Amino acid sequence: MSLKVDLTDQVAIVTGASRGLGKAMAIAIGRSGAKVACVARSADKLAETVSEIENAGGEAISLPCDVADRDSVEATVDAVVEKWDRLDILVNNAGITRDTLLPRMTDEEWDDVINTNLRSAFLMSRAASRLMMRARYGRIINITSVSGLIGNAGQTNYSASKAGLIGLTRSLSKELAGRKVTINAVAPGFIESDMTAALGDSIMDQVKKQIPAKRIGTAEEVASAVLFLASPAASYITGHVLTVDGGMTG
């Protein structure tokens, strides 16, 4: 079952929209009537996402962007406003991993993850919030992780970036609530992806035993959570972290 939300005439930016969760989110938002700017480093990798939205009757564009670079981010937001004259929804989903134990972690592995996962959300949210405050309406959804709530060995950089997103979400929600701009986060647990598939059946069987739901989630289930928080129905929800993890974090 898919969530039915009407986002007609709204405009959204989804970062990391070329694959996985970001692709599912962009498609769900596009199918709900919003115009979607699909953002990633490579325009070529965004073509399939844009095509699926258009095939479903929606409108979308691809915008290559280095989400950790201020000038690139501001140019991307300017391009969206120039094309569609507004910005209603921002989904900060861009993220990478550079997993290793902390004593072996390089400066570059730390910086790459913090810049892509956390700095990008700061830059995008700052640019978007200025527009949303003037319009007195907006939805910003940050994609964090259960790793940001409970930590994970070998992922100190990733967990720190995702915990930082939670702090950003809760602080910014207090700043913008009076302007009718909501800031929320979605924290997925184990979700079907190329990354989980690479772990192999034996490891995933062990993982499933630790999840009360006894299964891993789908990208579409995460997208439905994002879709709800992006909708007018979530107007009184802000500063919240919605876990989508089958009960993993209780």
Q: Where are the domains of the chain?
A: 11-191+217-243
Instruction: Return the closest-CA partner of residue 25 out of 168, 195, 188.
Output: 188
The helix or strand, by DSSP H or E, that contains position 201, with its residue range, turns out to be helix 201-209
In one-letter notation, the amino acid at residue 31 is R
Cα 111 → chain centroid: 19
Give the phi and the psi of residue 87 in degrees, each rounded to 5: -150, 120
CB atoms within 10 A of CB 234: 18
Are the beta carbons of 31 and 109 closer than 8 angstroms?
no
Average pLDDT over residues 97-105: 95
Are the beta carbons of 152 and 101 closer than 8 angstroms?
no
The CATH code belonging to domain 11-191+217-243 is: 3.40.50.720
* Bigger pLDDT: 202 vs 182: 182
| % of residues, the chain, pLDDT over 90 | 89
Are the beta carbons of 98 and 113 closer than 8 angstroms?
yes
User: Would you say residue 145 has pLDDT above 60?
Assistant: yes
This prediction's pTM: 0.96
Please say if 137 is a catalytic residue.
no
Q: Given this model, what pLDDT does residue 204 score? A: 85
Q: Which two tokens stand for residue 189?
A: 């647990």
| Contacts of 18 by beta carbon, 8 Å cutoff, 6+ apart | 38, 40, 42, 45, 46, 48, 49
User: Would you say residue 1 has pLDDT above 70?
Assistant: no
Half-sphere exposure of residue 86: CA atoms within 13 angstroms, side-chain side: 14
Active-site residue, selected from the candidate residues 119, 158, 165, 184:
158
Are the beta carbons of 132 and 54 closer than 8 angstroms?
no
How much is the mean pLDDT over the chain?
95
Give the phi and the psi of residue 215 in degrees, each rounded to 5: -160, 165
Q: Given this model, what pLDDT does residue 201 score? A: 83
| Contacts of 180 by beta carbon, 8 Å cutoff, 6+ apart | 136, 137, 138, 235
**How far, CA to CA in Å, does 62 sit from each of 25, 88, 119, 152, 207?**
14, 17, 21, 33, 36
Q: Given this model, what pLDDT does residue 177 score? A: 98
Are the beta carbons of 216 and 191 closer than 8 angstroms?
yes
Cα 91 → chain centroid: 5
Q: Is 178 helix (H, G, I), strand (E, B) or coil?
A: helix
User: Would you say residue 196 has pLDDT above 80?
Assistant: no
| Contacts of 107 by beta carbon, 8 Å cutoff, 6+ apart | none
